[in-house]
Every structure is written in structure tokens, then in C-alpha cells.
Amino acid sequence: MRPRRVTLVVVGVALATGAAGWVVGSQITSPADAAAAHQPPPASLITVAVAKQALASTITAQGTISYTGATPLTLTGTVGGATTQLVTRAPSAGTTVGSGQRLLEVSGRPVFLLPGQVPMYRTLSDGAKGDDVKQLQQALTALGYGHLTNGTFDVATQIQVKRWYEHAGYEPQAEADKTTVPSGEILFLPALPVRVDTVTIRAGATASGPIGTVTNSTVDIQSTLPSADAQFVRAGMSATLTLPDGTTMPARVDAIGKDAAPPPTDQPAQPSNQPQQQQQQQPQSTSDAAPMRLTAQDPAALAAYANNAAKIDIEVGKTNGDVLVVPVAAVATSQDGATRVQVQRADGQVRDVPVRVGLTSNGLVEVSGAGLAEGDRVVVGSK
């Protein structure tokens, strides 16, 4: 019986050892098996339903509300015949001064504003001729004082000057019974009316040199657009301004591109018979952007927000009612320029559908094409 017991023990040990080896072996994997076990699952498609809705494309920008065209004013020449030239009435900041109106008063004499490019560089007396006389005549004619065109400071012109002065409450200067206009009593500016922006003199001060600055009389909105956006904007387009306090206000695009550049601040041009001053060169912009100017529907209301920023929204296009739209990411373009979307059918199969694209807005694009309908699932990616 002893040999048989030994045999049974040996067989039992062998069986136990084999079982243990099988258990250990079943829990050990090769490097290849381990790598295969960690492979990501097959990619699944991300799809979005084709929608039907109206689209509107809006360009958004930031702008500054301001009075542009700042121009410094300087008193030159003599006002009246007084030896002492003292300011008796200084300009008031924030006021608007138009053609033929008094800007300030010196020693009881007026300093008027008139439109013109040639500065008042001399006293106009009987028989004077030149561009300065011609633009005085044009200004008087526009104000309703006769019809003067000959460019000579003749009796007819003097009569109208006298009428103008008297309507303003002043008597004109005269020499030998001939009306004259002293060189300091008119300031010619390229455009009127203007708004007095800053004043650097006061009543009682000597009337000479700088007196302040003037700007355009109404506020506008200056902005810039990237060239990629500017190509869609045209003068006359409607816009909406969002002001710092959340108020919205309608506006329109007044100019885009070089026509919208802020007005220069140069002084008026020198007359033809005076030495020409070298004009300052305006800095050239090197950025890929286009200037844009907008005007508010109610400039007077916008004036309260001068020197503040405003958000600008311009609708540059919209669809004619509801159209089929898909995410921009769903549209693919081939080398020949053809566009398509991939549509996943109910059975999971994917097919290409050629489409034509239209307006793009907020990540959506208008599409049309045979074989595409609202509710179809278009592929936008995978996960």
C-alpha cells in the first residue's frame, strides 16, 4: 500500500502545480496583447441636424464718439483802429458759430467767421482785388447780401459789408468815406459752422496769438475695420450704436476707406501771393484696416456721449426668409472649389451631398442642394 500512496501524492502535487501555473499564466499578457488592449475604440461620428431658419450677417466694431477736425485759431492783424488790442468778449467753449457770426470781440470790435481757404492777411480797402476779396464776396452772397462775383472790393461790395456789420450791431471801419475791413476782423475757415472746443484767452487779455481750437459742429463716430470686414460695408448702410450706459441709437455709415479718414487739423492754405508754408505730411497707416465714419440719426442726443466709446453693429446681409443652415464645420471644399457635406443615414452609412453655400453668420452657413433636407444629420467631426 505504501507505493500506491506515494503515487497518489505525486499525482496530486503535479495537478496542483499545473493548476497554479494555469492561473498565473492566464493573468499574464504579452506586450503586444497589452498594447492591443489599450487601443482607443473605433471613432464615432459627431453629427448635427440640418436646421431651417433666417440668417443675418452682422459686423461688430468699436468706435469713438468725438468732434473731429480740431483746428487751432490764431488772431493775426488788427481789429478796428484802436492802439490797444484787448479782448472784450472771449469765445465760449461748447458754443457753435456759423458763417457771418461773431466769434469774439476785441476793443469793442467784432471778429467774424466766414468760409474760405485763404486767410485774412490784409486790410481790405477800396479797389482791393484778389482771392481773399472773392471769397468775401461769395460768403456775403451766401448770407443774402447782394450778388457779388467780380473779385474787387468795389462800392457794391462795400455797401453789402456795411449792411452785414450793421445787422450784427456794429459800424464798419471807414477811410475817406470808403468802407474798409481791418485784417483782424474776419477769420476765414474751410468749413462752417464750427464748435468752439477750447478757449485759451479771456476777457481783458491782449488780443494776439492763439485763442483756442474749433472742431466740426456735430459729433460723429470714428472707427476702423479689418479689410476682410470692410469689403462688405458700404456708405449708407444702417448701423446700431450701443452706448456706455446701454442705450442703443440708430446710425448710418457715412464713409468707409480713405473718404472716412478724420479731417486734417492744418491751418487754412496761404493766399497765392503769400509765401507757401511747407505742409505737414499726414502719417500713413500701415495696418491692414480701413477707417470708417458713422453719423447718428440724432446727433444732438449723441453729443452727450462725446469722447466715449461705442459698440457698432452693422447688418451687411440677410437671407430672404428661412433657409437650410448647417455649422460651418460641416462644409468641405475640394480642390476644384466644389463644396459638399456628409450626411449620415439612419443605417449609419455616410454619403457626400454637393451643396451651394450662401450667407455665413455666427458659425452657421446657408446651404442648398438636391438630396439635403431639414433634419438630415450632417457630419461635423468625430470622437
In tens, the pLDDT along 22-50 reads 554 555 555 655 555 556 556 689 999 99
Average pLDDT in the 101-112 region?
Answer: 96
What pLDDT is stored for residue 273 in this prediction?
A: 42
What pLDDT is stored for residue 51 in this prediction?
A: 96
**Domains of the chain in sequence order:** 45-55+319-382 (2.40.420.20), 59-67+220-265+288-318 (2.40.30.170), 72-216 (no CATH)
Average pLDDT in the 340-361 region?
Answer: 93
Res 75 pLDDT > 70: yes
C-beta atoms surrounding 123 within 10 Å: 16
For 62-66, 140-144, 262-266, which range has the lowest pLDDT when averaged over its residues? 262-266
Instruction: Please work out, in degrees rounded to the nearest 5, the angle formed at the alpha carbon of residue 326 by the alpha carbons of 320 and 327.
Output: 125
> Confidence class of residue 19 from pLDDT cuts 50, 70 and 90?
low
87 backbone dihedrals φ, ψ, rounded to 5°: -70, 125
| Residue pointed to by grid coordinates 458713422 | 294
Res 204 pLDDT > 70: yes
| Residue pointed to by grid coordinates 442726443 | 301
Measured CA to CA, the distance from residue 156 to residue 60 in angstroms comes to 57
Average pLDDT in the 323-338 region?
Answer: 93
Q: What is the pLDDT of residues 294-315, one digit of tens each?
A: 999 999 999 999 999 999 999 9
What pLDDT is stored for residue 36 in this prediction?
A: 55
What pLDDT is stored for residue 34 in this prediction?
A: 55
| Residue pointed to by grid coordinates 468815406 | 177
> Confidence class of residue 338 from pLDDT cuts 50, 70 and 90?
very high
Average pLDDT in the 347-358 region?
Answer: 93
**Positive or negative torsion for Cα 352, 353, 359, 361:** negative
Percent residues over pLDDT 70 in the chain: 82
Res 293 pLDDT > 90: yes
Average pLDDT in the 94-115 region?
Answer: 96
Average pLDDT in the 117-127 region?
Answer: 94
| Residue pointed to by grid coordinates 475640394 | 334
Exposed, middle or buried: residue 181 (CB in 10 Å: 0-12, 13-18, 19+)? buried
Q: How is residue 17 written as a grid cell?
A: 502545480
Helices 155-167 and 131-142: angle between axes, nearest 10 degrees:
50
How does the average pLDDT of the chain come out, rounded? 86
Q: How is residue 142 written as a grid cell?
A: 451766401
The answer to whether residues 268 and 119 touch, using CB atoms and an 8 Å cutoff, is yes
End-to-end CA distance of the chain: 71
Relative to beta strand 339-344, strand 332-333 is antiparallel
139 backbone dihedrals φ, ψ, rounded to 5°: -65, -45
What pLDDT is stored for residue 281 in this prediction?
A: 40
The answer to whether residues 82 and 200 touch, using CB atoms and an 8 Å cutoff, is no
Of 106, 103, 111, 109, whose CA–CA distance to 88 is shortest? 106
* Secondary structure of residue 285 in the 3-state scheme: coil
For 6-10, 110-114, 175-179, which range has the lowest pLDDT when averaged over its residues? 6-10
For 105-109, 259-263, 276-280, which range has the lowest pLDDT when averaged over its residues? 276-280
Average pLDDT in the 248-274 region?
Answer: 72
Res 278 pLDDT > 50: no
- Tell me the one-letter amino acid at 48: V
Res 88 pLDDT > 80: yes
Relative to beta strand 102-106, strand 87-89 is antiparallel
What pLDDT is stored for residue 288 in this prediction?
A: 80
Measured CA to CA, the distance from residue 162 to residue 174 in angstroms comes to 10
Measured CA to CA, the distance from residue 133 to residue 155 in angstroms comes to 13
Helix, strand, coil % over all residues of the chain, rounded to 5? 20, 40, 40
